[in-house]
């Protein structure tokens, strides 16, 4: 009997299931479904993060993964899951094929984990806006 994979497309979600009853080298992770609903891109982009409260401190970070629904970034400061944040993501001209594009995003922290000498932060984007180019 030949092994096969079953791919199922559910709107906004792509799930791949291994053949039932067959062991896999991936262990328990192969039995769970991918929870991401959008494609993720590995990009190291500059990021300016601040809390949305008046007078919130600005901190510099760098993205690791970006999608239109969320991102994972590295930063030296600590954040609490569930906290709202605001950040400005800069897409450089090498990506846009024009000038730099700045996007202001409003998000919620989903997860925080140690990452060497910094913190890895996962955030879910709730809304965003393109900022006008600097004059």
- For 87-123, the DSSP string reads EEEEE-HHHHSSS-EEEEEEEEEEEEEEETTEEEEEE
Q: How confident is the model at residue 17 (pLDDT cuts 50, 70, 90)?
A: very low
Q: How crowded is the C-beta side of 47, counted as CA atoms within 13 Å?
A: 24
Going through the chain in order, the beta strands assigned E by DSSP cover: 5-10, 13-18, 41-42, 46-50, 58-66, 70-75, 84-91, 101-115, 118-130
Mean pLDDT of the residues in the chain? 76
| 121 contacts 79 by C-beta, under 8 angstroms | yes
Which domains are seen in the chain, by residue range?
41-130 (2.40.10.220)
Q: Is the pTM of this model over 0.75?
A: no
The pLDDT of residue 114 is 93
* Pair of tokens at residue 50: 């601040």
User: What confidence score (pLDDT) does residue 35 get?
Assistant: 54
pLDDT band at 135 (very low <50, low <70, confident <90, very high): low
Sign of the four-CA dihedral 50, 105, 110, 81: positive
């Amino acid at each position: 009997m030949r092994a096969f994979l079953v791919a199922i497309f559910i709107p906004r979600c792509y799930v791949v299931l291994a053949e039932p009853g067959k062991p896999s080298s991936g262990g328990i992770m192969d039995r769970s479904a991918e929870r991401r609903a959008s494609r993720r891109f590995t990009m190291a982009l500059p990021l300016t993060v601040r809390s949305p409260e008046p007078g919130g401190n600005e901190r510099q970070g760098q993205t690791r993964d970006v999608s239109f629904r969320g991102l994972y970034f590295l930063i030296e400061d600590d954040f609490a899951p569930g906290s709202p944040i605001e950040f400005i993501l800069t897409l450089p001209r090498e990506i846009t094929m024009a000038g730099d594009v700045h996007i202001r995003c409003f998000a919620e922290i989903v997860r925080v984990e140690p990452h060497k000498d910094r913190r890895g932060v996962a955030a879910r984007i709730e809304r965003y806006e393109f900022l006008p180019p600097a004059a």
